[in-house]
Amino acid sequence: MQLGHCRFDVGKGELTNLESGNVWHLPRAELQVISLLVDYQGKVVAKALLRSGNGEQPVLSDSSVARAVFTLRSFLGPQYEPLIETVKGQGYLLRHHRCRKNSHSNPNKINRHMPKLIALLTISLVLAIGSYLGLIALSGNVIPPPPPLKVSTIELTSGQVIKVLLYAHSKTNNTLLLEQELHMLQSLSHCPSSTWKRIYLSLSHDKQVLNITMRGEQLGQSIIRNLKISDLRQPKQFISKEWVQNVDICG
Amino acid sequence: MTKACRWAINITILALLLGCIGVIYKLTSKTPSFMFNCSSELFNHQQAKQDINHYLLVDLLSKEGLVQINYRYFNLDGSLAGTLSMQGVVNSVDTDNMIYDISVKTKQETPLTGNKQTPEHYKYLSYVSSLNLNKKGMHNLSIQVLERDETKDFAVVLFQPSNTVCGCRLVHK
């Protein structure tokens, strides 16, 4: 029988403090009082009954019962002494209680509370994920653009190096874009020199428009040129020799 | 009521409050303003015909979470070939990756027919944005800055989902 942080062994007549390990072999009065209070736990036990006990022992005096209650409360300690309640004019009552301090030391109790803990954690997790998804939904669908599909360089006869970067909608089925890269590199190879340092190539997701962005510097100023070529023909020929000459690709 | 129930209610209320704080923060936090314009040369290859070419100017302005994108198309002689204006909101700004997530809510189109050909780019943009606006009520796009030099006022940006790279001038406000 657990009483606060103590265990009462009615057979041995002992009260053991589970924290300190102290064992108290109860004197007759204390044993009689605590046994009756345990038998009638949650109910008021009249002083007369506490004095007389089961009738096999001599009747205790009122002061012996009061002293027994006092010493029992002292052993239970300040935290659990209210377990034995004085009911004025009637007697004493042993309260029902749950031992909190020692629950961690009882594996059965842990097992009993485990489903509740799991349920609580699950609810918290679901709510946290729900809130996060709500925020994501509120912020719209952010589609992180992919890194360059390919980066290549070409060295002109002047020794100048131009970097060509390809940006694709996906990592597969980019034959057309890679063909345009080849055309672009071939066209640039004919340039003796160029103002461009970087050239970005991208095909629209429906592969109808080739976007060319050329970035360079001239007299300390940045220069940018955007060319967007639509070609609805089949087969497509975004970059042709004629077109390259017309637009002065070298810059 | 058991202690477990009380804990469950407390945690639920706490999670809801945290969610509300997050939503309020999201709704009230100011998004950085930005403005840039991009000019492009448009080429339209045709079967057995001469190319039809145009110029395109795109102005993108964002202030206090609102965004305005103007597409202005010009013929080679400088005459206007059509305009397309879009208005929307900046949903989020990923400052680490410099990604602006935008939802266009409304648009106005003014195609100029006359005797000149409408730019293919205009047709494409009009078609895709109408498709999304009619179907979803919004036309989502993201803009990621691939390269940027504020001292020289330029940025190379990538528009998604159209997968369009474009070099733009940064305009300081």
Q: Which of B8, B16, B165 faces A167 most closely, judged by CB atoms?
A: B165
Contacts of A113 in chain B (CB under 8 A): 4
Does residue B28 register a pLDDT over 80? no
In chain A, residues 177-216 whose CB comes closer than 8 Å to chain B: 198, 200-206, 208-209, 211, 213-215
Helices marked H in chain A: 28-39, 47-52, 62-76, 107-138, 175-189, 241-247
Task: Give residue A105's pLDDT band: very low, low, confident or very high (50, 70, 90).
Answer: very low
Residues B37 and B39: their CA atoms lie apart, in Å, by: 7
The ipTM estimated for the assembled molecules is 0.79
Residues B112 and B115: their CA atoms lie apart, in Å, by: 9
- Mean pLDDT of the region A173-200: 91
Residue with the larger pLDDT of the pair B25 and B89? B89
- Mean pLDDT of the region A77-99: 83
pLDDT tens by residue, B113-127: 665 778 888 888 898
Residue B104 pLDDT? 93
What SS3 class is residue A237? coil
Listed by start position, the domains of chain B span 1-30, 34-170
Does residue A208 register a pLDDT over 70? yes
Q: Does A238 touch chain B (CB under 8 A)?
A: yes
Same fold for the domain at A2-94 and the one at A150-247? no
Interface test with A, best of B21, B159, B164 (most A CBs within 10 A): B164
Whether residue A34 contacts residue A26, with contact meaning beta carbons closer than 8 Å, is answered with yes
Residue A142 pLDDT? 43
The conformation of residue B21, written as its DSSP 8-state character, comes to: H
Does residue B171 register a pLDDT over 90? no
Contacts of A167 in chain B (CB under 8 A): 146, 158, 163, 165
Architecture of domain A150-247: 2-Layer Sandwich (3.30)
CATH topology of domain A2-94: Arc Repressor Mutant, subunit A (1.10.10)
Does residue A20 register a pLDDT over 70? yes
Q: Measured between alpha carbons, how far is residue A65 from residues A1, A32, A43, A95 in Å? A: 21, 9, 17, 18
Listed by start position, the domains of chain A span 2-94, 150-247
Tell me which chain B residue has its CA closest to the CA of residue A114.
B4
- The winner for highest mean pLDDT among A121-135, A186-200, B29-43 is A186-200
CB contact under 8 A, B45 and A209: no
- The winner for highest mean pLDDT among A50-54, A110-114, B57-61 is B57-61
- Mean pLDDT of the region B132-156: 88
Helix axis angle for A28-39 and A62-76, nearest 10°, is 80
Contacts of B7 in chain A (CB under 8 A): 120
Helices and strands (DSSP H and E) totals, chain B:
2, 8
pLDDT tens by residue, A124-177: 777 777 766 666 555 544 445 457 899 999 999 888 999 999 998 788 888 999
Residues A212 and B153: their CA atoms lie apart, in Å, by: 19
Question: What is the pairing mode between strands A23-25 and A196-203?
Answer: unpaired
- Mean pLDDT of the region A92-120: 65
- The winner for highest mean pLDDT among A98-102, A126-130, B52-56 is B52-56
Does residue A199 register a pLDDT over 50? yes
Q: Which of B7, B91, B158 faces A167 most closely, judged by CB atoms?
A: B158
pLDDT tens by residue, A112-127: 667 777 777 777 777 7
Closest CA to B162 of A170, A146, A166, A204: A204
What SS3 class is residue A164? strand
Residue A103 pLDDT? 43
Whether residue B143 contacts residue B159, with contact meaning beta carbons closer than 8 Å, is answered with yes
Indicate if the alpha-carbon torsion angle B90, B92, B95, B96 is positive or negative.
negative
